[in-house]
Structure 1
Amino acid sequence: MTVAIVGAGLGGLTLARVLHLNGIDAAVYERDSSRGARGQGGMLDIHSGQRALREAGLIDRFHAIARPEGQDMRLLEPDGTLLLREDTPDDAPSARPEVDRADLRGLLLDSLPEHTVRWGHTFESAGHGRAHFSGGRSTTYELLVGADGAESRVRALLTDARPAHTGQHVVELGIPDIDRTHPGLAAMVGRGNYWVLGDGQSLSAQRNGDGRVRVYLSFYRTTADWIATSGIPFDDPAAARTRLIEEFAGWDPRFTALIAACDDTVRPRSITTLPIGLTWPSTPGITLLGDAAHLMPPVGQGANMALLDGARLGLALATRPDDFPAAVRDFEREMFDRTGAAARMSADMQELLTAPDAARRMLAFFQPA
């Protein structure tokens, strides 16, 4: 049996790895021209996804690249009031360690046989057991798996659902080599996550394993066209930083100092989600996983669900290698239940973050009475 996986993200690569361990042929078709063609984003909080890495035989290698100290957290209000500080003891279990997304993806890529990933393949269409890619290329398959992210093209083969704007926009900035260039800010942010929650906007900073601190400015209750209508010149990094600092006028100067210290990386993006509890009729020969199946707010669940999707689908196919349609039905039933609950939890967290008293409500979440 041949499995064609569209998308070399975490879910697709985990599926390929589990299939490889179980002797099932799979190829991953990725639109990027190479593994280093574009950045892979910041840190990931891996918790339930560790079960998937264990099934993939990679848990020890994962712990070798993970950062348990990344579990440290500081929560503040815009006036600088420190509400919560949690520092991870050196001997604490790695229940939710942080890991650079690029490192985790690299671990998965390195675990696969050479040529499993076919770079430079942009999916265009599929039907009658054949997938078509840009440049006139095509391949046959027994099962086509859409692991191609939020803007999945494979999804249209199963459902008309499309991602919808949540009311949130995020602007990503960053400070490289922060310990050397801005030691005071480095000490303020600490080893893990730093959150400042205000009314309708927030600032978070996240230390990466390469010494870079990624700074995320979130604006809630915005319209879908906010990037174009905000008046912030995102194509001019210096001017954009100035305008973003103005958006945080009245906040403690330490927070605007973080923005001022950032380099010329300025990446605005709209946050979208798929409907909570999205399902589709099981269709022989096609399925979805990861963000293609259940795009949810970026609050710590999506990557874990994608890893579990890949492992669970791989094990289902390995258990029923002579009946792929039944294996896919079993997988989809489990995925719908599991990720529906995760999506509801993520939506609740998103609602908390948009509340006028978000910081105090977040404190109550982490320290319930």
Structure 2
Amino acid sequence: MSKMRIIIAGGGLAGMTLAHRLHRHGLDVAVYERDAGIAAREAGYRIHINSTGTSALHAALEPRLWKLFLATCGMPNDDMLLFDEHLDPRPSRDKSATEGIGVPDDIPEHLVVCRSTLRRILFLGLEPVVRFGARVTGYRSAPDGTVTVLLGNGETVEADVLIAADGINSAVRAQRLPQMTVADLGARSIAAKVPITNATRSRLPGQLFNTFSMAYDDDRTGLTLGPLERTDPGSPLVLEQDRAFQDEATKNYALSIFNSVASRMMPDAELCAATPERLKAYALERVASWHPALVETVRLWDTATVQPLTLRSCVPVTAWEPSNVTVMGDAVHAMSPALGIGANTALRDALVLGGELLAVARGDKALLDGIGAYEEAMRGYGYQALRASASVGEQVIGHLPLPE
């Protein structure tokens, strides 16, 4: 097996999934992650995993971890429902925008998972190759074809391949593709978790407990609820993990998001500086005249989980010449959350890029040919998903169009 040294900048879902696949096949891979540890921060909320994402995870994970993933998922059994602010039904969204980008219509392919739980699963077995507290700030390309990776603490490390999986603010992407811009979509959100217990269920109507519910008024101010109820929280695979994992992986909750266009939200400086208590109070003020069940949804927010979000998107650029520095996930195609396919598209990157790097390691392809094939494919499906998400987001969330 080739001794090709691969460094992944960023220990999010896509980077860690890729690391698992490469590590399982004996490649020399290391992950450099800016967080101080796996539990250093709230790593996100409930995310939708479709067949695109499950294909990538199945290819990457050893059987035991795959089963652990399934045990910690939820399996919704209804479609997304849309309401107005009075909880009267609105027409369902036009699904034609999702054709060809891996969004399934059949129930078995539709899973939901807690992002931080999945991140913990992806860390298992990779402890020796993940370095926490190591922010990648850039790189230098050497004449011999190697890359010197620059870390925030002044250290450097040598590699044959550098992969930017470090998110929308990627320092590597900024250097590798300076022509790419990130657009503010002009919408703001306040997100939180709602614990799902017998008590909370009794306070909300059953129609909100489907795959995903969104209520919005004529100004596109909206409130969502997306439950995550675990498939098998009593699985021995879950119970053999440490207490922190068990506590997180056995609790049911719903993701709830209050969203509005930026011009109708509190100013950005105030939004970013506000305490969780203030953000929750503000959301309650904004929905005070709505249906009582929607007001109650915000009252049930777990205040400790409340945080503001800014909707941004990468803007597609024309093809570039491949090199031994490449990009994946939100570093290259961060998108509107309107279709819930951003994580799946990033996981698809891990599947495609992983396959190309394994072909290079076997000697079936030259390195730049493999990376070039991945980048060409990624620009196709990634930009299609990005544009489709932006289009639906304009219609449903009311955010700005994607710049041309």
Q: CA deviation at 1:169?
A: 0.4
Q: Which ranges in structure 2 are unaligned for 5 or more consecutive residues?
A: 93-105, 230-250, 400-404
Alignment match of 1:142 (pick from 140, 160, 166):
160
Instruction: Provide the C-alpha distance between the structure 2 equivalents of 1:84 and 1:178, rounded to a whole number of angstroms.
Output: 30
2: distance between equivalents of 1:219 and 1:71?
Answer: 26
Asked if residue 259 in structure 1 is aligned to residue 298 in structure 2, the reply is yes
The amino acid that maps onto 1:189 is L
Match of 2:327 in 1: 288
Q: Identify the match of residue 342 of structure 1 among 385, 390, 394.
A: 385
| TM-score normalised by length of structure 1 | 0.85
2:29 maps to 1:26: yes
> Structure 1: how far apart are the matches of 2:281 and 2:26?
55
> Any residues of structure 2 matched to 1:168-183 within 5 Å, and which?
168-181=187-200, 183=202
1:226-257 residue CA offsets vs partner (Å, 9 max, x unmatched): 32367x982261x4433322222432122112
| 1:331-355, Cα deviation, whole Å (9 max, x unpaired) | 1001011111111111111011145
Q: Does 1:17 align with 2:20?
A: yes
1:310: Cα distance to partner? 1.0
Partner of 1:332: 375
1:56 has 2:75 as partner: no
SS at match of 2:204: helix
Deviations 1:273-316 (CA, angstroms, capped at 9, x unpaired): 111x3345234220000000111111311100111101211110
- Superimposed CA distance per residue, residues 11-36 of structure 1 (whole angstroms, 9 cap, x where no aligned partner): 11111112123221100000111111
Question: Judging changes above 3 Å, is the alpha-carbon distance between structure 1 residues 17 and 68 closer, same or farther for their aligned structure 2 residues?
Answer: same
Q: Provide the C-alpha distance between the structure 2 equivalents of 1:118 and 1:105, rounded to a whole number of angstroms.
A: 15
Secondary structure at 1:69 match in 2:
coil
Name the aligned partner's letter for residue 73 of structure 2.
Answer: A
Match of 1:363 in 2: none
Q: What CA distance in whole angstroms lies between the structure 2 residues aligned with 1:200 and 1:141?
A: 47
Counterpart CA distance in 2 for 1:35 and 1:229 is 29
1:148-167 equivalences under 5 Å are 148-160=166-178, 161-167=180-186
Q: State whether residues 131 and 138 of structure 1, in contact with CA within 8 Å, keep that contact through their aligned partners in structure 2.
A: yes
In structure 1, C-alpha distance between the alignment counterparts of 2:266 and 2:380, rounded to whole Å: 33
2:287 to 231, 239, 248: 248
Alpha-carbon deviation of 1:172?
1.1
When residues 224 and 295 of structure 1 are mapped into structure 2, their CA distance, relative to the original with a 3 A threshold, is farther
Q: Secondary structure at the match of 2:153?
A: helix
Structure 2 distance, partners of 1:109, 1:262, is: 29
CA deviations on 1:183-239 (whole Å, 9 max, x unpaired) are 322745325422112222100012234223332001025389832367x982261x4
Is contact 1:282–1:332 with CA below 8 Å preserved after alignment? no
SS in 1 for 2:127: coil
Q: 2:8 maps to which residue?
A: 5
Secondary structure in 2 aligned to 1:145? strand
- Please list every run of at least 4 consecutive aligned residues from structure 1 whose deviation after the TM superposition is greater than 6 angstroms: none
**Residue 215 (str. 1) matches residue 235 (str. 2):** no
In structure 2, what is the Cα distance between the partners aligned to 1:326 and 1:46? 30
Whole-angstrom CA distance in 2 between matches of 1:186 and 1:179: 12
- Alignment partner for residue 125 of structure 1, among 129, 132, 138? 138
Q: Which moved more, 1:257-266 or 1:324-333?
A: 257-266
Counterparts of 1:314 and 1:94, CA distance in 2: 25
Inter-CA distance 70–288: structure 2 relative to 1 (3 Å threshold): farther
Mapped pair 1:68 → 2:81: no
Counterpart contact for 1:224–1:270, Cα < 8 Å = no
Which one of 225, 237, 240 corresponds to residue 205 of structure 1? Answer: 225
Question: Where do 5+ consecutive residues of structure 1 fail to align?
Answer: 86-91, 357-369
Alpha-carbon distance, 1:164 to partner: 1.6
- Aligned residue in 2 for 1:189: 208
- Corresponding pairs, count: 346
Question: Which residue pairs with 1:77 in the alignment?
Answer: 84
Matched residues in 1 for 2:136 and 2:32: separation? Answer: 8
Describe the SS at the equivalent of 1:293.
Answer: helix
Q: Which of residues 262, 269, 285 in structure 1 aligns to 2:309?
A: 269
Change (3 A) 1:120 1:233: closer
* Conserved? CA contact 1:282–1:328, under 8 Å: no
Q: Which whole-Å CA distance do the structure 2 matches of 1:197 and 1:4 have between them?
A: 43
Other structure's SS at 1:144 match? strand
Q: 1:242 to 1:109 in 2, by over 3 A?
A: closer
Looking at structure 2, the residues matched to 257 and 317 of structure 1 have their Cα atoms a distance apart, in angstroms, of 50
Q: 1:25 to 1:186 in 2, by over 3 A?
A: farther
Secondary structure of the structure 2 residue equivalent to 1:82: coil
Counterpart amino acid of 1:36?
A: A
The one-letter code sitting in structure 2 at the alignment partner of 1:39 is: E
Q: Report the residue type matching 2:215 in the other structure.
A: V
The CA distance in 2 between the partners of 1:289 and 1:262, in whole Å, is 33
Alignment root-mean-square deviation, CA: 2.6
**Which secondary structure state, in structure 2, belongs to the residue aligned with residue 175 of structure 1?**
strand
Residues 200 and 221, structure 1, Cα contact 8 Å, conserved in 2: no
Determine whether 1:39 maps to 2:42.
yes
Q: C-alpha displacement at 1:260, in angstroms? A: 2.3
* Residues 155/259 of structure 1: CA separation in 2 closer, same or farther (3 Å cut): same
The CA deviation string for residues 66-118 of structure 1, in whole angstroms up to 9 with x for no partner, is 21126554322111213479xxxxxx8421111111222222222x4431111
Check whether the contact 1:194–1:205 (CA below 8 A) recurs between aligned residues.
Answer: yes
